[in-house]
């Protein structure tokens, strides 16, 4: 795939959640309109609805992988296995660079594990300065381009 990392970062800086920023950057390549891609990936930001679980950037990589390698026949174990192998490989690539695929671990020192609120933090210059998310978005989009 074409590297859409600059577009993904621009999406994030425009206010998209991390998962949306990455997934929407590849929407056209997947034959999907922007609004549909925004909706599909909306719930995965900030580690799944701001619960700080699996990083939204990883979730976006996995969504792209599903669009490209996902099984459509529920009985096709080989296809399921292939998709799971692709997902695990993408996770391994991300983890090699970050040490984790868990949002709260990558944001350690910035946030408590789950502050109990679903309200997204306001996007300010300080927001972008103190968190690694912009570079995580770039990394996920780059991995998609290199691996898929």
For 14-62, the pLDDT digits (tens) are: 999 999 999 999 999 999 999 999 999 999 999 999 999 999 999 999 9
Alpha helices in 26-132 (DSSP H): 34-41, 56-69, 77-98, 103-106, 125-130
* Mean pLDDT (whole number) for 63-81: 98
Q: How many CA atoms lie within 13 A of 141 on its CB side?
A: 28
pLDDT band, residue 139 (cuts 50/70/90): very high
Q: Which domain holds residue 134?
A: 5-147
CB atoms within 10 A of CB 94: 21
Would you state the pLDDT for residue 116?
Answer: 75
- CA–CA gap between residue 25 and residue 102 (Å, rounded): 22
Count the domains in the chain: 1
Would you state the pLDDT for residue 114?
Answer: 56
Share of the chain above pLDDT 70, in %: 97
- Cβ atoms of 143 and 136 closer than 8 Å: no
- CA–CA gap between residue 34 and residue 40 (Å, rounded): 10
Q: Which residues have a Cβ under 8 Å from the Cβ of 108 and sit 6 or more positions away?
A: none
For the segment 106-123, what is each residue's pLDDT rounded down to a tens digit? Answer: 998 776 555 678 888 888
């Amino acid at each position: 795939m074409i590297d859409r990392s600059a577009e993904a970062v621009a999406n994030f800086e425009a206010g998209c959640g991390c998962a949306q920023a990455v997934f929407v950057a590849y929407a056209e390549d997947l034959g999907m309109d922007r609004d549909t891609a925004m909706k599909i990936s909306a719930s995965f930001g900030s580690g799944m609805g701001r619960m700080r679980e699996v990083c939204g950037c990883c979730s976006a990589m996995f969504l792209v992988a599903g669009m490209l390698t996902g099984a459509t026949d529920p009985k096709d174990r080989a296809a399921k296995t292939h998709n799971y192998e692709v997902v695990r490989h993408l996770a391994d690539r991300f983890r090699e660079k970050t040490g984790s695929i868990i949002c709260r671990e990558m944001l350690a020192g910035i946030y408590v594990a789950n502050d109990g609120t679903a309200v997204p933090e306001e996007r300010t210059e300080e927001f972008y300065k103190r968190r690694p998310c912009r570079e995580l978005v770039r990394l996920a989009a780059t991995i998609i381009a290199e691996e898929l």
